[in-house]
Structure 1
Amino acid sequence: MTETVPMDPPPEVFDPPALRLGCVALTLNPDGAILMVRPKNRPAHLILPGGSAEADEAPNEAAARWVYTKTGLALDLWQLVSVDYVSVAELAEGINLVFWGGRLSARRAGKVVPGEGVIEAVWVPPGDLTKVTYPQQVARVIEALRTAERGGGLPLLLRGRPVG
């Protein structure tokens, strides 16, 4: 049996740089339209529902919490379909994790309502994305959608253990 030797953590573990972890969900209605929200604090564009994870909050739980808060939709999120880095020049530096929310039934999709901090929650056909959101969000959504449609994605691990 091999013995594991504990390693001293590198100095940056004790004073890590600040990095925002955005946790959002890509969810479709039966027609393939994408659930997006118009936030009150940035009303010019629609975005995927989600927000930043809090300290010691699992990213899938953060995404599920934000989706529920912003749309009233309860989702079990565990499959990542995109990881997107955002530089400090664009917004607070961070990583955006896009979780696959799935394709909803017409009944569930019809129950979506604008929630806290949201002006509207709407279903956007993929072909209309360039009309309603900014280019980086379009690229993020399209790449995540391609991954989801291929049945691909990354497994979510929490402390090395698969979720879902």
Structure 2
Amino acid sequence: GRRLGYLVGPARLIAEVQALRRLMFRHTPNNNQRTVARFLALGHYDTMVHRLHRAYRARWQAMNEALTRHLPGSFEQPSFGGSSFWVHGPEGLDTEALDRRARARGVLIEPGRIFFFSENPPTNYFRLAFSSVASERIEPGIRILADLIHDRA
């Protein structure tokens, strides 16, 4: 990472944060600061954000369509933001076992059990991220998951 950022807030808070930062890290090298400032000044950041927005939208649409086709009713569309879908499988599905089987087929999921704060959390929820998956790989991956889920049932 660049160890570079900014903070907007009350002067007293900023002074405290600066003092703490000096204890952990003296300063970001000037060439890094200039490089990032130039990147921003030339409009590259805005261009990058627009490019990422288009890519993420295409990936979101690909996952939405694939889930609708192969696992209908298993998810609710997120209203905005986010980079993953929250999916619920059929009752009795063990998503930790599904994770192992899917991983062996090259598909990664995140079992949902860890997101529940109860003694006996449901085991049939999982999260599917799309931000780092090429659009053309999403549908085949969802098809594999659907096959694995239906084989279990």
User: Normalization by structure 1: what TM-score?
Assistant: 0.25
Query: Considering only CA atoms, is the larger Rg found in Structure 1 or Structure 2?
Result: 2
User: Normalization by structure 2: what TM-score?
Assistant: 0.26
* Structure with more of its chain in helix, by fraction: 2
* Structure with more of its chain in strand, by fraction: 1
